[in-house]
Amino acid sequence: MRVLFWVFVVGLAICASRPASAASGLAGGHTMTIKDDFYGIPAGSVEVPSGWRSIGTVMRVSGCHGNPFLSIEFTVSDRDGLYAVAELPGATWSFSDGAQMQQIMARNHCPGIAIKDAASFLANIMVPSVHPGADIIKVSSGGPLVQQAIQSMRSGAQNANQHPYVTGAAVRIRYNRAGAMVDEELSAIVSCSAFHSMAMFGSPAYTTTTCNTYAVSVSRAPAGKLDTFLGGPVFGNVVKSVKTDNVWLHRMVSDQNARFQAADRDFNRVAAQSLANLKAEGEAREARAKAFDSALQRSTQKSMDQAAASQNSIDHAAHQVVNFASDRADYINPATGQRLNLDYNANHSWGSTDGTTVVLTGDPTLNPNGVVDPVRSSYVELVPSP
């Protein structure tokens, strides 16, 4: 856990060190301030080119794979959504070669994910989640910023006598976005740490590996133009302008450090008590499974415990970011009460009164009643959902 926290701090330091230049080259643009709704203070900012759209937030993602390390998330795109720069939240996952630990993970509804490198994470987890059906056209080790971050993480971890397995990668995909083919590159750094458990009371030794990625960076351009976009001034200036607020950074790191230290103390206390119970009762296998089960729940919940009262608004903000990034919106069928997530580029949407059919159109004069399946279906216009 300390290894992951150290890597997390290095990632924030790299992000915070990017200068937010007043003369960024984004002529006529503006600065978007990204607010942390939980703390109620600015978390960072990014420069938005003139005429481009933007949205940003700080996500606190719950669940066993939610990233406990906070970061700012944003999407900056042109009006058509063909050019874009974005930061998406990272994730945490674990896997083990021990049968008992695998059972514990399954009972907690967090089965192991045997992935320990950035390329596999992006190709097998991120791409299918963000753009199902997209074609992977290139996999690389990432650009200079990724390699610089990896070297900094490895050097710092060695100085702290820690040895995480750190990899970086970039995966380029191609897909159809609102009728236009685009290329998109997702890049990330994954850090994994292995925890070795000795053979005890007749149970074999095993290893549990925990991996984390701080964030996923995204860049997009029309098909065949991504390299030109990545080498151009707009992309470079947006990336250089990303800034983490120092007050927010200090408060967030202090809170995270306190939670991790508390989780370490709880883990050590539970492990010691569990060992005593094992020796006293002679029930080696059952007691050890319970001890690790309890320790896993405590450490995970302590690291990701956030204020439940603000979770609904944060979840809503996260959903809006996903809708914005994928050109989608929520609608309600007034005839059936169905809630639908549809392409908002089709600005006139109709649903059948039996809830089986949706008609998407950009023609404000089109009324599907009497036109689309007139014998069996009637239609009402869908209502945008707040």
241: left (phi over 0), alpha (psi -120 to 50) or beta: alpha
Closest CA to 105 of 209, 222, 236, 203: 209
Per-residue pLDDT reduced to its tens digit, 134-184: 999 999 988 777 888 787 777 765 555 556 788 899 999 999 999 999 999
For the stretch 118-143, pLDDT in tens is 999 999 999 999 999 999 999 998 87
The DSSP result for 153-188, as a single string, is HHHHHHHTT---EEEEEEEEEEEEETTEEEEEEEEE
Q: Cα–Cα distance between 355 and 334 in angstroms, integer?
A: 10
Provide the pLDDT for residue 325. 72
Q: What is the DSSP string of 199-250?
A: -BTTBPPEEEEEEEEEEEEEEEEETT-HHHHHTSHHHHHHHHH-EE-HHHHH
Q: Position of tokens 């950074």?
A: 249
> What is the identity of the amino acid at 281?
E
φ, ψ for residue 243, nearest 5 deg: -135, 135
- Closest to 168 (Cα-Cα) out of 183, 155, 149: 149
Residue 27 has what pLDDT? 55
The domain segmentation of the chain, as residue ranges, is: 2-322, 327-384
Which residue ranges in the chain fall short of pLDDT 70? 1-28, 68, 156-163, 201-202, 260, 263-264, 266-268, 270-272, 274-282, 296, 299-318, 322-323, 344, 375
Sign of CA dihedral 76, 136, 344, 71: negative
Lay out the sheet containing 30-36: strands in order across. 30-36, 41-48, 243-244
The span from the CA of 119 to the CA of 113, in Å, is: 14
